[in-house]
Amino acid sequence: MQSLNQRSDPAPSRLSYRFERLMLTPLFRFGLRVVLPFSAAALATTVWFSDQDRRDNVNMVIDDIRTSIVERPEFMVQAMVIEGASAGVADDIREILPLDFPVSSFDLDLPEMKKTVDGLSPVKSATLRVKPGGVLQVTVAERTPVVLWRMPDGLHLVDAEGFVVAESTRRALHPNLPVMAGEGADLRTGEALQLIKAAGPLASRLRGLVRVGERRWDLVLDRDQRIMLPERGAVQALERVVALSDVQEMLQRDLSVVDMRLGSRPTIRIAERSVEAWWRLRELRVGQE
């Protein structure tokens, strides 16, 4: 009877009891159901891909699938159209984007191509997109030169933001653009344009602006006249000179320099020829006496 009771004992064995206790642990269940199958699959995949021929076959299949998708007619770009650019800039764009058409749109790195086009000096901004029908459209906004910058190496066309747009061979090619000179003048193009606007009635006599010591401006007029402006408040100082010229016709006289660097004490310098004429006239009067 005692042996019969021992055989029918429903209590689990020690090993079974420990396994059931482990199954109550979430981490153990996760490892058994997820980590173990994943590790087995990873091990099997690693063993399978350890063979070079198998890897080559898989790569060939992937390349064939990619090629079949990439080279579909609806994804092919057949031509490039450039809008908003002058003939010279358009030629430069075609030169820096040497595309061999037809080309898949998947092989076009549009952000990098945009960066390349934006790097051209005459280009202010560019937009690139692939239009339906397989056309790469490049829309360009060019910089507009507003002033000529004279430097020892020649003339440069500069836009309102101070960017050098292009070089110029002759001043006569741009008769309507004002001229500025001096190191650092391009960095203060906005101020130069303000001074040109403030010159107003003197515009017909204006020959250009000179940046002096990268600190201040000189306004150069015809008849070898020069207005020396202060480092700060240059526009206001020039407006004072224009007002004096309108009221007292100061600049119509034989002056060489109007020095406004000291706002509290503006000074003028008479032209040397007038001084010499005055001395001759004085000597003549003394001789007659």
Tokens of 105: 């749109």
Sequence-distant (6+) residues with CB within 8 A of 150 are: 179, 180, 181, 208
Closest CA to 140 of 78, 79, 81: 81
In the chain, list all ranges with CATH 3.40.50.11690. 145-276
Q: Which CATH class is domain 73-142?
A: alpha beta
Reported pTM: 0.65
Tokens of 231: 């480092």
- Phi and psi angles of residue 14, each rounded to the nearest 5 degrees, phi first: -65, -45
Question: pLDDT band at residue 224, thresholds of 50, 70 and 90?
Answer: confident
Amino acid at 123: V
Which tens digits make up the pLDDT trace of 155-195? 999 999 999 998 998 899 999 999 999 999 999 999 999 99
Sequence-distant (6+) residues with CB within 8 A of 220 are: 206, 207, 208, 209, 210, 226
Which tens digits make up the pLDDT trace of 119-130? 998 999 999 999
In the chain, list all ranges with CATH 3.10.20.310. 73-142
Which range is least confidently modeled, 104-108, 163-167, 173-177, 237-241? 104-108
Neighbours of 7 (CB within 10 A): 6
Which CATH number is 145-276's, of 3.40.50.720, 3.40.50.11690, 3.40.50.1580, 3.40.225.10? Answer: 3.40.50.11690
